[in-house]
Amino acid sequence: MEAACRGAKKEGGLTVGILSTDHSREANSYVDVKLPTGLGFVRNTLVVRAADFIVAVDGEYGTLSEISFALCEKKKVIGINTWEIKGVMKVKTPKEAIRRIREHAKQKTNREIN
C-alpha cells in the first residue's frame, strides 16, 4: 500500500488508507485520509467495496483475499507480479495498469451513455 500511496502523492493524488488496526498512526506517511477500522483482514471487503478497480501488486494472503472478494463482486482486477488466478488481467508495469483502467472506465462510461 505504501508504494501505491507514494506514487499517487507524486502525481498530486489524494490517498485513502483503510487500515486493519485501531490506530491511524500505523498508516504509512503517504496516506492523507486515515480510516482505522480495527477489523484486521475483514477490512479487505471494505477496500474492495470502495474501489472501482483493484490493482494487486505482489502480495500474500491478504492480497489473495482482496482479489477473491473483488472477483466475487464482479470488479475488474489487474495484477502486477501477483497470484495466478483466472479473471485477473496480468500486466507488467503500473503504467500498463493505468492504461487498462482508463480503457475499461471509458468503455463503462460509453455503455452508460448509450
Contact indicator for 33, 17 with CB cutoff of 8 Å: yes
Q: Which class is 2-113 in CATH?
A: alpha beta
Encode pLDDT of 69-92 as tens digits.
999 999 999 999 999 999 999 999
Encode pLDDT of 8-64 as tens digits.
999 999 999 999 999 999 999 999 999 999 999 999 999 999 999 999 999 999 999
C-alpha distances out from residue 8 to 1, 13, 62, 85, 88, Å: 11, 5, 21, 26, 22
CA 75 to chain centre: 11
Helix 61-72 vs helix 43-50: angle between axes, to the nearest 10 degrees?
Answer: 50
How do the domains of the chain map onto residue ranges?
A: 2-113
